[in-house]
Amino acid sequence: MVYTIREVVSFLDSIAPPAYQESYDNAQLITGDPNTKVKGILCSLDATEAVVDEAISLGCNLIVAHHPIVFKGLKSFTGKNYVERTIIKAIKNDIGIFAIHTNLDHVAHGVNKKIADKIGLKNTKILSPKKGILNKLSTFVPSAAVEQVMTALFDAGAGKIGDYSGCSFMSEGSGTFTPSEKANPTIGKRNKPEKALETKIEVMFPSFLESQIITALKNAHPYEEVAYYIHQLENENQEVGAGMVGELSTALDEKDFLAHLKSSMNLQVIKHTTLINKPIKKVAICGGAGIFLLNAAKKSRAEIFITADVKYHEFFDADNQIVICDIGHYESEIFTKELLLELLSQKFTNIALYFTKIVTNPITYL
């Protein structure tokens, strides 16, 4: 089977919905015709000129990168900086560039889960779950049609809570209505009051799915006019959010854990705060710049918080309550390219998949 860039993007969007990216982000198809047939995919942390050259040499016409090469609007394409040069080279060589950034950071099976797996953490969960991204649908269905409506809603993405699917609440009651002369009622007759046995169905769903949930409801519901209500929930979505926290199978001495961290993440250096003489059992992590999660890490009662891009004064905020480790932005997220290849290989078994051998880290150590 031959796949298009659009189909690859659609699959990745189902893994990490674009609605979960931060407002400043630019996770999307940045270059390339969505209808182009995919010859090969190169997975990378960054999309740079060297990575585009590598894609060309491998016969790949799609780069799937974690970091967007374009964050801000470009007003000219003259090659005056590395961003413009990369975009120009990609367009000239018909290379698509797709970025899957903070949306992949925010899903439970994303970037931070990959880090947790490399370190060997168990019982992982989102460190700071997002609020305000869940809705509840309430609708009223004649009893004979409950199964078909429920099936349609579940197929559209409703009713999933953590590791459970098909979640709903139902209650029985009576619905009243009077069809007009122009109506075509499923139950009852025109101009005559009707009372029908109905089931109230309530299901939760991710807010970004609202349009397809409502379409599924209306297509499956037997009534000419469908009564329903949508409520935005303040519940935390435990499957979506920033950072991750997990546990080691066996507690380690702080220095032993740092040695394990350095080995498992292939680090040259670790910057960290003063050790606090506590065994390391619970570990909080956030790939990339994650110091904004320090309070959440403390609240989780983790003994250590692993992230990157920590500023000098922010190290003081450990305040002898937790050990802060800055392992470097590139180093914390480099295994994302392996994650991307693993995800793509689940679906696209007949497309050549590679992860880049180019070291895109702009920082070197003496």
Q: Is 333 annotated as a binding residue?
A: yes
Would you say the CATH fold of 133-233 matches that of 5-105+333-355? no
Q: Tell me the domain boundaries of the chain.
A: 5-105+333-355, 107-127+242-326, 133-233
Q: What's residue 349's pLDDT? A: 92
* Pure H helices in 300-366: 312-315, 329-333, 336-347
66 belongs to an annotated ligand binding site: yes
Helix (H, G, I), strand (E, B) or coil at 295: helix
Is 126 strand, coil or helix? Answer: strand
HEC profile for 190-253? CCCCEEEEEEEEEEEEEHHHHHHHHHHHHHHCCCCCCCEEEEEECCEEEEEEEEEEEEEEEEEC
pLDDT, residue 1, reads: 83
What is the model's pTM? 0.91
Residue 2: predicted pLDDT = 92
Q: Give pLDDT, residue 188.
A: 82
Residue 313 is assigned to a ligand binding site: no
C-alpha 189, offset from chain centre: 49
Residue 364 pLDDT:
93
For strands 271-272 and 194-206, give the pairing.
Answer: unpaired
pLDDT at position 107, please? 97
Q: What is the pLDDT of residue 73?
A: 85
Residues of the chain with pLDDT under 70: none
CA separation for the pair 61, 197 (Å, rounded): 57
pLDDT value of residue 244: 98
Confirm or deny that 329 is annotated as ligand binding.
Answer: yes
Q: Which fold has domain 5-105+333-355?
A: 3.40.1390
Residue 192 is predicted with a pLDDT of 87
- Report how far residue 317's alpha carbon sits from residue 313's, in angstroms, rounded to the nearest whole number: 7
Tell me yes or no: is domain 107-127+242-326 CATH 3.40.1390.30.
Answer: yes
Q: Which residues of 240-251 are buried (b: 16+ CB within 10 A; e: fewer)?
A: bbbbbbbbbeee
Report whether 231 belongs to an annotated binding site.
no
317-329: burial string, b at 16+ Cβ within 10 Å, e else = bbeeebbbbbbbb
pLDDT tens profile 46-95? 999 999 999 999 999 999 999 999 998 889 999 999 999 999 999 999 99
For 133-233, the fitting CATH number among 3.30.70.120, 2.60.120.10, 3.30.1600.10, 3.30.70.20 is 3.30.70.120
The 8-class DSSP code of residue 129 comes to: E
